[in-house]
Amino acid sequence: MLFDYETLKLIWWLLIGVLLIGFAIMDGHDMGVCSLLPIVGKTDAERRVIINTVGAHWEGNQVWFITAGGAIFAALPLVYATAFSSFYWALMAALWALFFRPVGFKYRSMIKNDTWRRAWDWGLFVGSFVPALIFGVAFGNLFLGVPFSFDEHLLVSDSVTLRGLLSPFALLCGVISVAMMIMHGGVFLAHRTVGEIQARAKKFTMLSACVMVVLFAAAGFWVAQLDGFVITSQIDKGGVIDPLAKTVITAQGAWLDNFAKMPSLWALPALGLALPFVAVGLMYAGRTLLAFIASSLATLGVVATAGVALFPFYMPSSTDPRASLTVWDSTSSHLTLMIMLYVVVLILPIVVTYTSWAYAIMRGKVTTAYIKENEHSLY
C-alpha cells in the first residue's frame, strides 16, 4: 500500500475537514443569500434578483454537503452511526428544513401571486437559516461532549433529545454559524448586485461580521473554561478500531492544548477574527471579489479552528469518555481508505475545475432589468 494505516487516518481527517470547509464556503454563501432574501429584497423583482445570484449554482454547492456525508459514511462508519443515533432529531430537523430549498427554487416563480411567492421566500429562508443554526449547535455540543456510550458490540446505547442539544454554549455556536453564513452570503450578494439591493446587503454584511467576530471571540474564552478531553493511555494509531481500548480524562482548558503545542495554529482563529473586517472593508471599497475571498478565508479559519481544537477527537463522549471516537479508532479498514483516496485524487480536481469554470462563465451582475428581459427563463 502507498500509505500505512496511521497516515491514512490522518489524511482522511484532513480530507473530511476539506469537505466540511468546502461545504461552509460554497453552500454557506448561497444559504446566506437566501437567509437575507426576505429582508434585503423589498419587491418581487428585487427578490428574484437575489435568488438568481445563486440560482445557477446552489445545486452544485449542495454537492459538498452530500459528499461530506458520503465520505463520513464510508471512511468513518462508527462516527456516522453514532452521530445519526445521538443527533437524530437535530439532523432530521436540518434535513426537513433543507427540503424547502429545492422546491422553493423550483416552484417560487411558477405562479405570479404575491402570497404564493412570499410563502416560498420564507421557505427558502427556513431552508437556509435553520440548517446553519443546527450545524453550529452540533459543533458546540462536540466541545461539551455528547452523551453516548457503547456496549460490548459497539452499539450506541444513548441518544440526545433536540432540547438536550440546546445548551447556552451550543446555542452560541449556532448563532456564530448563522452570522458567519450571513456575512459570507452578504459579501457574495454585494458582488453580484447593484443599487439598493447592494446597499442593503452591505449593511447586513457589516452587522453580521461584527456579531460573528464578537461571538467567536467570546466562544474562545468560553472554551478555555470548558473541560476538554485528553487521551492518557497508549493508543495503537495503526491498529484496528476499538474505541473502548483507551483511557480518556477531562481537564479544564484542554481543548486549547493543540494550540499550546503548536503556536502557529493560532493563525486559524486569527483568520476568523480579522478577515471578516477585511472583507467588509474591501466590499465598501468596491473590491467585492477580493472581499468574497477574504470572507471565504474567514469561514475557513472558524471551521478549521474547531477541527484543530477537537483533534484527535471526532465525537467526545460525556457519558463514558473512553468511548469517545477519535481519528485513531473510528475509521474504516486500511483497504477501504486507500481505495477512497484514489477516488478523491481523481474526482476532486474535476469537481473544483468544473465549479470554477461554472462561476467564471456565469459571472457578472444580476439586475432587475435583466430579470424583466428573461421573465420566463429565470427563477
In this predicted structure, what is the pLDDT of residue 236?
A: 78
Q: What is the structure's pLDDT at 293?
A: 95
pLDDT given for residue 142 in this prediction? 93
253: left (phi over 0), alpha (psi -120 to 50) or beta: left
pLDDT at 56: 82
Secondary structure of residue 245 in the 3-state scheme: coil
pLDDT of residue 83: 87
Amino acid at 194: V
CA geometry: angle at 131 spanning 130 and 137, to 5°? Answer: 90
Give the model's pLDDT for residue 155.
64
368: left (phi over 0), alpha (psi -120 to 50) or beta: alpha
First vs last Cα of the chain: how many Å apart? Answer: 49
pLDDT of residue 377: 62
Answer whether 0.85 is exceeded by the pTM.
Answer: yes
The mean pLDDT values, 10 residues at a time, for the chain of 379 residues are: 86 94 92 93 90 86 87 91 84 90 88 90 94 93 88 65 79 96 95 92 95 96 94 80 85 94 96 96 94 96 96 92 91 91 89 87 82 72
Rounded CA separation 43/20 (Å):
35
Structure confidence at residue 17 (pLDDT)? 94
Give the model's pLDDT for residue 156. 67
Task: Note the pLDDT of residue 159.
Answer: 62
Residues constituting the chain: 379
CB atoms within 10 A of CB 62: 18
CB 189 within 8 A of CB 198: yes
Nearest one of 252, 253, 179, 185 to 216, comparing CA atoms: 179
- Chain centroid, CA 63 distance in Å: 13
